[in-house]
Amino acid sequence: MIETLRWFRQTQGGLYCLDMRVRGILLVKDEFGGLGHFDDRVLITRLARQTNQIRSTLSSVTKAASNTLREQAMVGLVISRDFQKLPVTFRDGESYGVSGFWHLSHVFAVRSEGPKEGPVHTDLMACLVYSGPRETMWWNVAEDETATNAVQVLKEDETFDKMFEKEECSLCSEESLTIFAEGWVCTNVLCSSLGRDQSGQAPKTKTYSQRFLQPWVSQEQMKKTAPPLLPDLLIQQPQLTNDRKKSFETLRDFWRGWVCPVCATMNRRLDYHQMVCPCGKFSAPSPVPNVTLGQVTKKEFLELNAKDKLPPVTISDNAVKLTEQEFTDKYAIYTWEFEEEAKVTALFPRAAAHAGPNGNDKVFEEMQKKTRSGAIPMKRVPVGKPKSRGLDLTTRQFCANFGRDYNASMVVSTTPFEQADPLVGQLVRRAEAVVLGTMGINVSFNEALLLAYLPDMSIRWHDDGEADLGDTVISHSVGGNCVMKFAMKGEYWWGKRDDGQGKVTLTPDDPHLPGCPKMQERRALLDKYGKGELTKQEYESQLRDVVRDFKVNRENVSHLLMSVTVPHGGYIIMHGKNMQKYYKHSAEAKELLRFVITMRHIGDKHQEQTLTSRRAVAEARVAADSVLGKRKERSD
């Protein structure tokens, strides 16, 4: 049951919904929202929050809670070890426990208004009642039995709503119960008069009436049985109706986990090619996607063979400039420059690049075959710091690393190149030839990270910031399309770091890169400081005034500078010492299964050599022709 925590959404402590029903609530800390309440029978906690500044899931949670309330379904309550109000005894090594199932008796909304120009919070609250026997409680009860609320079972002709006074709001015409001791206010989440009385006034304080805090349960609720918290995740392919557009391979829930048919425990889907239960009594091949070549080859990308055919790239505010384009028998090649030491080169394949025994189509077929069989084993791996036993966060995508260790954003066990499948070495050598032929740079890659993305999977903003990373990083994609996005790191775009709690730190020696807001003012200040016309204190004071009003977003990156659609067989080369230092990128797979292998050189000796002599350049192009094809046209 604890395994269902992976399906909880971070709303308050956490919320787990299935089929638009609230199935579970996770309590992490001692707060339940501004108007939370807890005693040994009644729990009032926040389900969701919406502010006037942050988008939320309030509408979907409201619908799920309404459906649960209408059906009088029971809700499971999961408690974190950090939740100190309940003296729960946890099993060794576990940070979470299950308190049991509760009845959802009422759902209402409250509003809290902060300072004059601060955010306005709308909280969706739930009142739950525990009706189980006292001996099943996970917390200590008072010795004095009279101090404990007794569950009140309503008569057959009674309903929860009839137990309280209620009024119809003059603005929204919806009835709200009088649940506060201070008097009636509207609790309709959709009403603009939420939290106000009929005169439009909001009480300064709100406390629940003692009647509302009594544990009322209907006879119908007492007859309900607890539903299973385990999601209905099948080991075999789900039966889909004709109106379902996506196949089972694309279902998010199917790829999150599976239930062992022997011991009925939930298991995360960690291995790409197999399902093995820790009970030791069940194992089976994983039903992985099978994508045909006809699904991944898009005609529009095969026609990029002339200057008048624009590549699938979006550039904002002229932040990036196209500096070079070249066309060969197999690829259309474009290079964009963010600045002198930060460039991106994209190679869009033509039909000739897909054909033949070493073509992209063959690579995709072999990659599917070898990952499905386990010849190239791929796993989901931990990211971030471990939380507790069995609850570590893992990557969405499946991973396999070869050569040198790579630990920049995840911890992946690595396989030496000499022990890897021959397909991996083939792709590394092809990537080296691509870099040599397009950029005139001789580099030997000593690390390759292979990722498998299922439809709609993505990787968030990041840089390939491994220590001692070489200046050139190249990725090769086969399978479905991917949209790759680029943005500047927030501390360089705005010239400051903002922790969101009011602490602002200026970026040392603000580089005021091209496109940054107020770039000229920031550059002038740095020039004066460099010439000794300003002291360090004066420089930082004036710079702070310039960047004071910049609003840092949650992702801590600039607005989108560039996005490029990477098709089946495409390459992306990121080059320059400032590319990973100042910029971040993200990637999102679209409709189909996608494999991407990213190659780097990590170490003190990057072994990157720029070819300068005409003879060396000519020899490099000849060596790369087998991969890139014969050159047709080039322009700067």
Contacts of range 538-544, beta carbons closer than 8 Å, 24 or more positions apart: 540/506, 543/495, 543/506, 543/510, 544/496, 544/504, 544/506
In a domain, 262, yes or no: no
Residue 343, domain member (yes or no): yes
Counting other chains too, the contacts that 410-414 makes at CB distance below 8 Å and 24 or more residues apart are 410/381, 410/382, 410/383, 411/381, 411/382, 411/383, 412/381, 412/449, 413/381, 414/447
* β-strand partners of 171: none
Phi and psi, residue 267, nearest 5°:
-130, 135
Contact 560, 439 (CB under 8 A): no
d(CA 484, CA 306): 23
359: burial class by Cβ within 10 Å (0-12, 13-18, 19+)?
middle
b (16+ CB within 10 A) / e for 28-41: beeebbebbbbebb
Boundary residue ending a domain (223, 257, 290): 223
Residue 119: pLDDT above 80? Answer: no
pLDDT at 605: 58
The rounded percent of the chain whose pLDDT value lies above 90 is: 23
Q: Tell whether 265 is covered by a domain.
A: no
Residue 116 within any structural domain of the chain: yes
Q: What are phi and psi of 400, to 5 degrees?
A: -155, 135
Q: What are phi and psi of 199, to 5 degrees?
A: -90, 0
Q: Higher-confidence residue: 413 or 255?
A: 413
- List the domain range (segments joined by +) for residue 104: 2-164+211-223
Q: Is residue 382 part of a domain?
A: yes
Quote the percentage of the chain above a pLDDT of 70.
76
DSSP string, 516-533: -TTHHHHHHHHHHHHTTS
Give pLDDT, residue 389. 42
Q: Compute CA 479 distance to the chain's CA centroid, rounded to the nearest angstrom.
A: 22
Taking the C-alpha atoms of residue 269 and residue 257, their distance in angstroms, rounded to an integer, is 5
The CATH number covering residue 446 comes to 2.60.120.590
C-alpha to C-alpha distance for 111 and 113, rounded to whole angstroms: 7
Q: What is the Cα gyration radius of the chain?
A: 30
Same domain, 309 and 395: yes
User: Positive or negative CA dihedral for 3, 40, 28, 62?
Assistant: positive
Please check whether residues 468 and 380 belong to one and the same domain.
Answer: yes
Residue 501's pLDDT band (boundaries 50, 70, 90)? low
Find out whether 78 and 230 touch, Cβ atoms under 8 Å.
Answer: no
Same-domain check for residues 543 and 441: no
How many degrees, rounded to 5, is the angle at CA 152 between CA 151 and CA 154?
A: 140
pLDDT of residue 54: 47
608/36 Cα distance (integer angstroms): 60
Tell me the DSSP string of 197-261. Answer: -TTSPPPS---B-TTTTS-EE-HHHHH--PPP-S----SSPPP--TT--S-GGG-HHHHHEEE-T
448 inside domain:
yes
Query: Does residue 484 sit in the same domain as residue 499?
Result: no
3-state secondary structure string across 152-212: EECCCCCCCHHHCCEEECCCCCCEEECCECCCCCCCCCCCCCCCCCCCCCCCCCCCECCCC
Per-residue pLDDT of 27-51, as tens digits, reads 876 566 668 888 778 889 888 888 7
279 located within any domain: no
Q: Do 474 and 371 share a structural domain?
A: yes
DSSP state of 379: B
Beta strand residue intervals within 32-135, DSSP E: 37-38, 42-51, 74-80, 96-113, 120-129
Does 110 lie in the same domain as 37? yes
pLDDT at 492: 87
Backbone angles phi, psi at 599, to 5 degrees: -120, 140
If asked whether residues 30 and 41 sit together in one domain, one would say: yes
Identify the band that residue 626 occupies on the pLDDT scale cut at 50, 70 and 90: confident
Q: 514 and 432, same structural domain?
A: no
Task: For Cα atoms 462, 56, 77, give the angle at the middle one, nearest 5 degrees.
Answer: 100
Q: Are residues 509 and 416 in the same domain?
A: no
Q: Which of 128-142, 187-201, 474-488, 504-518 is least confident?
A: 128-142
Is residue 468 domain-shared with residue 505, that is, in the same domain? no
Lowest-pLDDT choice from 91-95, 124-128, 320-324 = 91-95
> Mean pLDDT score of the chain, rounded to an integer?
79
Asked which of 188, 223, 258 is the last residue of a domain, the reply is 223
Pick the closest to residue 172 from 145, 203, 195, 148 (CA basis): 195
Residues 596 and 574 in one domain: yes
Domain boundary residue, one of 180, 198, 223 = 223
Lowest mean pLDDT among 59-63, 192-196, 388-392: 388-392
Per-residue pLDDT averaged across 208-234, rounded?
Answer: 74
Give per-residue pLDDT as tens, 303-315.
Answer: 665 556 678 888 9
Split into its structural domains, the chain has a count of 3
Domain-embedded: residue 244: no
- Per DSSP, 394 falls in state B
pLDDT at 571 over 90: yes
Tell whether 480 and 495 lie within a shared domain.
Answer: no
Per residue in 383-439, pLDDT (tens digit) is: 765 544 444 567 888 999 999 887 666 667 899 999 999 999 999 999 999 998 888
